[in-house]
């Protein structure tokens, strides 16, 4: 049995975010997908995760999952054997970045969650994938399973995230930093900053013709990179 793997999905996503990778990653490996829609803060979310996670594990997070992965490193760095940060940022939330999140919370709370998922879709994938109906339906189905209440809790957790950049230099485990070339939510510059902050322990991968949902938009590339990262 190889080292266990913990996966943390992004905002409005669930285990299906990693569905294309599962057949390659699962054989001979224990995989835990974090419950990340039940808490309104990253510390509480991660405390819940650590209570059910193996003693030591490889850790992979996409977008919000990356924010949570940084919190894992703050709470229990000794438990992480390797780290994969996909389409994410180490920057903190700010009043400016929280404004659109507050607007989405307001929409969700007044019963317009469908409008939120429709608006988000326009920014989640590369422009060429906007007409990909099977992908859109998959993303929408994940959002529906998370639900408006779970989405609001996730947004509040994200809105309280601290600055993770001061801790980057302390990361000494093998780290994959991967980003879609056309990601407009956490652009390639964010990944470049993370990789530069970690230094020699990080490997930076930019995926061409790919937006924010790299695991679904470029499944073969991401699977290959994760397999290489896992050794």
* Ramachandran area for residue 129 (φ above 0: left; ψ -120 to 50: alpha; else beta): alpha
User: Model confidence over 132-166: pLDDT tens digits?
Assistant: 999 999 999 999 999 999 999 999 999 999 999 99
Q: What pTM was estimated for this model as a whole?
A: 0.97
Using CB atoms within 10 A of its CB, is residue 137 exposed (0-12), middle (13-18) or buried (19+)?
Answer: exposed
Gap between the Cα atoms of 168 and 85, Å rounded: 12
Q: Residue 150: its pLDDT value, please?
A: 98
- In a 3-state reduction of DSSP, which class is residue 32? strand
Alpha-helix runs per DSSP H in 91-132: 95-109, 113-124
Q: Which residues of the chain have pLDDT under 70?
A: 1
Q: Residue 95: its pLDDT value, please?
A: 95
Task: Compute how many other C-beta atoms are within 10 angstroms of the C-beta atom of residue 218.
Answer: 22
- Looking at residue 40, what DSSP letter applies? S
Q: Residue 1: its pLDDT value, please?
A: 62
Gap between the Cα atoms of 118 and 169, Å rounded: 38
Gap between the Cα atoms of 139 and 14, Å rounded: 9
Gap between the Cα atoms of 114 and 177, Å rounded: 32
- Calculate the CA dihedral of residues 69, 212, 188, 123 and round it to 10 degrees: -130
Percent of the chain whose pLDDT exceeds 90: 99
């Amino acid at each position: 049995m190889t080292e266990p793997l913990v996966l943390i999905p992004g905002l409005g996503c669930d285990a299906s975010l990693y569905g294309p990778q599962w057949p390659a990653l699962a054989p001979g490996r224990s995989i835990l997908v974090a419950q990340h829609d039940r808490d309104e803060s990253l510390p509480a979310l991660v405390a819940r995760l650590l209570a059910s996670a193996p003693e030591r594990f490889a850790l992979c997070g996409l977008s919000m999952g990356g924010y949570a992965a940084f919190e894992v490193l703050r709470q229990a760095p000794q438990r992480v054997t390797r780290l994969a940060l996909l389409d994410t940022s180490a920057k903190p939330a700010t009043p400016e970045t929280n404004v659109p999140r507050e607007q989405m919370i307001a929409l969700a709370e007044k019963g317009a969650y469908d409008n939120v998922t429709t608006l988000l879709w326009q920014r989640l994938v590369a422009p060429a994938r906007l007409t990909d109906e099977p992908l859109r339906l998959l993303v929408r189905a994940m959002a529906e399973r998370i639900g408006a209440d779970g989405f609001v809790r996730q947004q509040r957790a994200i809105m309280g995230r601290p600055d993770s950049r001061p801790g980057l230099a302390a990361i000494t485990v093998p780290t994959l930093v991967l980003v879609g070339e056309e990601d407009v939510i956490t652009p390639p510059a964010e990944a470049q900053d993370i990789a530069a902050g970690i230094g020699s322990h990080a490997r930076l991968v930019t995926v061409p013709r790919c937006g924010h949902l790299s695991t679904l938009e470029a499944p073969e590339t991401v699977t290959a990179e994760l397999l290489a990262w896992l050794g």
